[in-house]
């Protein structure tokens, strides 16, 4: 998707009062990423470990010639790792000029949701999810947590390394 196409989507969002989300599943929970933040959805072939990196950093991977930092979302959310026989999926995003691949369990669909149905985080939302959430949407018997990329990566990347 080109920058022009992304700008057109953003303009349409304002005009219609809706936001498009790419949905992903992590640990059985549905999450949504605003589509204007998603650059790629892919199945990484391999991840190269990086010594002394934060535990959430699974390593780096090559995405069409670019080096991308792979973030293990299950580790970031303090969940058990996936079974080794499951296919790794990732969503490519940009944050502060750097490329990241959020390693997730599964990719869902693109949903077009009205901003009027967006709600603040419920008080009983798991703290691990609340700290990276920009609100929620209630869908047919399911809660979609909206991932806030700045909160997700900002706090993690600013943590000092242990001595």
Q: What is the CATH number of the domain that holds 38?
A: 2.40.50.180
Identify the pLDDT of residue 70.
96
Identify the pLDDT of residue 14.
54
Identify the pLDDT of residue 10.
41
Q: What domain range includes position 139? A: 3-157
For the chain, what is the domain count?
1
Cα 27 to its chain centre, rounded Å, is 13
Identify the pLDDT of residue 162.
41
Spans of the chain, pLDDT less than 70: 1-15, 84-85, 155-163
Identify the pLDDT of residue 132.
92
Residue 163 lies in a domain: no
Name the pTM for this structure.
0.83
Identify the pLDDT of residue 128.
82
Cα dihedral 142→71→114→136 (10° resolution): 50
């Amino acid at each position: 998707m080109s920058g022009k196409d992304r700008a057109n989507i953003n303009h349409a969002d304002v005009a219609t009062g809706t936001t498009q989300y790419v949905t992903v599943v992590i640990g059985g929970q549905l999450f949504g990423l605003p589509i204007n933040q998603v650059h790629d959805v892919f199945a990484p072939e391999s991840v190269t470990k990086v010594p002394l990196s934060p535990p959430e950093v699974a390593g780096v991977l090559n995405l069409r010639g670019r080096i991308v930092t792979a973030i293990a979302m299950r580790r970031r959310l303090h969940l058990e790792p996936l079974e080794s026989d499951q296919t790794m999926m990732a969503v490519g995003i940009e944050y502060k000029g750097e490329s990241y691949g959020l390693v997730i369990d599964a990719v869902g669909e693109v949903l077009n949701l009205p901003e009027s149905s967006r709600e603040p985080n419920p008080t009983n939302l798991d703290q691990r999810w609340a700290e990276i959430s920009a609100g929620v949407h209630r869908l047919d018997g399911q809660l979609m947590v909206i991932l806030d990329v700045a909160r997700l990566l900002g706090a993690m990347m600013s943590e000092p390394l242990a001595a």
